[in-house]
Structure 1
Protein backbone atom coordinates (compact mmCIF):
# COMPACT_ATOMS: atom_id res chain seq x y z
CA UNK A 1 0.00 0.00 0.00
CA UNK A 2 1.39 3.38 -0.93
CA UNK A 3 2.15 6.05 1.64
CA UNK A 4 -0.51 8.34 0.18
CA UNK A 5 -3.20 5.67 0.66
CA UNK A 6 -2.01 4.99 4.21
CA UNK A 7 -2.27 8.68 5.07
CA UNK A 8 -5.73 8.77 3.51
CA UNK A 9 -6.79 5.74 5.57
CA UNK A 10 -5.56 7.36 8.81
CA UNK A 11 -7.40 10.58 7.99
CA UNK A 12 -10.52 8.55 7.19
CA UNK A 13 -10.39 6.70 10.52
CA UNK A 14 -9.92 9.96 12.45
CA UNK A 15 -12.75 11.65 10.52
CA UNK A 16 -15.02 8.67 11.15
CA UNK A 17 -14.33 8.66 14.89
CA UNK A 18 -14.92 12.41 15.07
CA UNK A 19 -18.13 12.15 13.06
CA UNK A 20 -19.44 9.36 15.33
CA UNK A 21 -18.94 11.61 18.35
CA UNK A 22 -21.07 14.29 16.67
CA UNK A 23 -23.83 12.11 15.22
CA UNK A 24 -24.09 8.35 14.56
CA UNK A 25 -25.80 8.84 11.19
CA UNK A 26 -23.13 11.28 10.06
CA UNK A 27 -20.46 8.88 11.35
CA UNK A 28 -21.88 5.97 9.37
CA UNK A 29 -22.00 8.11 6.21
CA UNK A 30 -18.36 9.14 6.68
CA UNK A 31 -17.48 5.52 7.39
CA UNK A 32 -19.15 4.26 4.21
CA UNK A 33 -18.09 6.96 1.75
CA UNK A 34 -14.62 7.36 3.22
CA UNK A 35 -14.07 3.61 3.03
CA UNK A 36 -15.07 3.61 -0.62
CA UNK A 37 -12.68 6.48 -1.31
CA UNK A 38 -9.80 4.71 0.44
CA UNK A 39 -10.42 1.52 -1.57
CA UNK A 40 -10.62 3.47 -4.83
CA UNK A 41 -7.43 5.31 -3.91
CA UNK A 42 -5.67 2.02 -3.23
CA UNK A 43 -6.80 0.56 -6.57
CA UNK A 44 -5.83 3.72 -8.42
CA UNK A 45 -2.37 3.79 -6.87
CA UNK A 46 -1.39 0.70 -8.89
CA UNK A 47 -3.11 1.74 -12.12
CA UNK A 48 -0.04 2.66 -14.17
CA UNK A 49 2.14 -0.28 -13.13
CA UNK A 50 0.83 -2.70 -15.75
CA UNK A 51 2.60 -3.60 -18.95
CA UNK A 52 2.25 -1.41 -21.99
CA UNK A 53 0.61 -2.47 -25.21
CA UNK A 54 3.99 -2.70 -26.93
CA UNK A 55 5.39 -5.00 -24.22
CA UNK A 56 2.39 -7.32 -24.47
CA UNK A 57 2.65 -7.40 -28.27
CA UNK A 58 6.37 -8.21 -28.12
CA UNK A 59 5.64 -11.11 -25.75
CA UNK A 60 2.91 -12.40 -28.08
CA UNK A 61 5.24 -12.12 -31.07
CA UNK A 62 7.90 -14.08 -29.18
CA UNK A 63 5.41 -16.83 -28.34
CA UNK A 64 4.20 -16.99 -31.96
CA UNK A 65 7.79 -17.26 -33.20
CA UNK A 66 8.52 -20.06 -30.74
CA UNK A 67 5.42 -21.98 -31.86
CA UNK A 68 6.32 -21.41 -35.51
CA UNK A 69 9.83 -22.77 -34.97
CA UNK A 70 8.54 -25.71 -32.93
CA UNK A 71 6.23 -26.76 -35.79
CA UNK A 72 8.80 -26.35 -38.58
CA UNK A 73 9.21 -30.13 -38.93
CA UNK A 74 5.47 -30.69 -39.28
CA UNK A 75 5.22 -27.96 -41.92
CA UNK A 76 8.13 -29.49 -43.88
CA UNK A 77 6.47 -32.91 -43.75
CA UNK A 78 3.14 -31.45 -44.91
CA UNK A 79 4.90 -29.58 -47.73
CA UNK A 80 6.59 -32.84 -48.80
CA UNK A 81 3.28 -34.70 -48.85
CA UNK A 82 1.62 -31.87 -50.77
CA UNK A 83 4.41 -31.85 -53.37
CA UNK A 84 4.16 -35.66 -53.74
CA UNK A 85 0.38 -35.42 -54.24
CA UNK A 86 0.85 -32.63 -56.74
CA UNK A 87 3.36 -34.77 -58.68
CA UNK A 88 0.94 -37.75 -58.66
CA UNK A 89 -1.87 -35.56 -60.02
CA UNK A 90 0.42 -34.18 -62.72
CA UNK A 91 1.46 -37.72 -63.70
CA UNK A 92 -2.19 -38.83 -63.79
CA UNK A 93 -3.11 -35.87 -66.00
CA UNK A 94 -0.16 -36.63 -68.27
CA UNK A 95 -1.32 -40.24 -68.70
CA UNK A 96 -4.88 -39.13 -69.51
CA UNK A 97 -3.81 -36.64 -72.17
CA UNK A 98 -0.90 -38.53 -73.63
Structure 2
Protein backbone atom coordinates (compact mmCIF):
# COMPACT_ATOMS: atom_id res chain seq x y z
CA UNK A 1 0.00 0.00 0.00
CA UNK A 2 2.85 2.38 0.82
CA UNK A 3 4.42 1.80 -2.60
CA UNK A 4 1.17 2.83 -4.30
CA UNK A 5 0.99 6.03 -2.25
CA UNK A 6 4.62 6.88 -3.11
CA UNK A 7 3.86 6.25 -6.77
CA UNK A 8 0.80 8.52 -6.61
CA UNK A 9 2.85 11.24 -4.92
CA UNK A 10 5.50 10.92 -7.62
CA UNK A 11 2.82 11.18 -10.33
CA UNK A 12 1.32 14.25 -8.67
CA UNK A 13 4.76 15.89 -8.50
CA UNK A 14 5.42 15.09 -12.16
CA UNK A 15 2.03 16.50 -13.11
CA UNK A 16 2.63 19.70 -11.12
CA UNK A 17 6.06 20.13 -12.70
CA UNK A 18 4.65 19.57 -16.21
CA UNK A 19 1.79 21.98 -15.51
CA UNK A 20 4.25 24.66 -14.38
CA UNK A 21 6.37 24.08 -17.50
CA UNK A 22 3.33 24.46 -19.77
CA UNK A 23 2.43 27.69 -17.97
CA UNK A 24 5.96 29.04 -18.56
CA UNK A 25 5.83 28.17 -22.27
CA UNK A 26 2.36 29.67 -22.62
CA UNK A 27 3.58 32.82 -20.89
CA UNK A 28 6.45 33.14 -23.34
CA UNK A 29 4.17 32.80 -26.37
CA UNK A 30 1.83 35.41 -24.89
CA UNK A 31 4.82 37.71 -24.46
CA UNK A 32 5.89 37.04 -28.06
CA UNK A 33 2.39 37.71 -29.44
CA UNK A 34 2.08 41.02 -27.56
CA UNK A 35 5.58 42.00 -28.74
CA UNK A 36 4.66 41.39 -32.37
CA UNK A 37 1.32 43.21 -32.16
CA UNK A 38 2.67 46.25 -30.32
CA UNK A 39 5.75 46.59 -32.54
CA UNK A 40 3.59 46.34 -35.68
CA UNK A 41 1.30 49.03 -34.27
CA UNK A 42 4.26 51.26 -33.41
CA UNK A 43 5.74 50.74 -36.88
CA UNK A 44 2.39 51.69 -38.42
CA UNK A 45 2.22 54.85 -36.30
CA UNK A 46 5.81 55.71 -37.13
CA UNK A 47 5.44 55.30 -40.89
CA UNK A 48 2.02 56.94 -40.98
CA UNK A 49 2.74 60.07 -38.96
CA UNK A 50 6.51 60.63 -39.03
CA UNK A 51 8.10 58.62 -41.86
CA UNK A 52 11.03 61.05 -42.06
CA UNK A 53 12.22 59.94 -38.63
CA UNK A 54 12.26 56.18 -37.98
CA UNK A 55 11.99 55.56 -34.22
CA UNK A 56 9.99 52.34 -33.71
CA UNK A 57 13.13 50.20 -33.71
CA UNK A 58 14.18 51.60 -30.30
CA UNK A 59 11.27 50.07 -28.39
CA UNK A 60 11.63 46.97 -30.59
CA UNK A 61 15.27 46.66 -29.58
CA UNK A 62 14.64 47.16 -25.86
CA UNK A 63 11.66 44.85 -25.68
CA UNK A 64 13.41 42.35 -27.98
CA UNK A 65 16.28 42.02 -25.53
CA UNK A 66 13.80 41.25 -22.74
CA UNK A 67 12.04 38.75 -25.00
CA UNK A 68 15.37 37.09 -25.78
CA UNK A 69 16.15 36.59 -22.10
CA UNK A 70 12.62 35.30 -21.49
CA UNK A 71 13.16 32.73 -24.28
CA UNK A 72 16.54 31.67 -22.88
CA UNK A 73 14.97 31.03 -19.49
CA UNK A 74 11.92 29.15 -20.79
CA UNK A 75 13.66 27.03 -23.43
CA UNK A 76 17.00 26.69 -21.61
CA UNK A 77 18.90 28.06 -24.62
CA UNK A 78 21.79 29.27 -22.50
CA UNK A 79 22.18 26.72 -19.68
CA UNK A 80 23.41 29.08 -16.95
CA UNK A 81 20.23 31.15 -17.22
CA UNK A 82 18.01 28.14 -16.53
CA UNK A 83 16.52 26.90 -13.28
CA UNK A 84 18.16 23.50 -13.67
CA UNK A 85 21.59 25.13 -13.60
CA UNK A 86 20.62 27.07 -10.48
CA UNK A 87 19.45 23.92 -8.71
CA UNK A 88 22.61 22.02 -9.64
CA UNK A 89 24.78 24.90 -8.45
CA UNK A 90 22.89 25.09 -5.14
CA UNK A 91 23.41 21.34 -4.60
CA UNK A 92 27.09 21.71 -5.45
CA UNK A 93 27.56 24.53 -2.94
CA UNK A 94 25.69 22.62 -0.22
CA UNK A 95 27.90 19.57 -0.81
CA UNK A 96 31.04 21.71 -0.60
CA UNK A 97 29.78 23.21 2.68
CA UNK A 98 29.15 19.74 4.12
CA UNK A 99 32.61 18.54 3.12
CA UNK A 100 34.50 21.58 4.42
CA UNK A 101 32.85 21.55 7.86
CA UNK A 102 34.27 18.13 8.64
CA UNK A 103 37.80 18.91 7.52
Per the normalisation by structure 1, the TM-score is 0.43
Q: TM-score if structure 2 supplies the norm length? A: 0.42
Larger CA Rg, structure 1 vs 2: 1
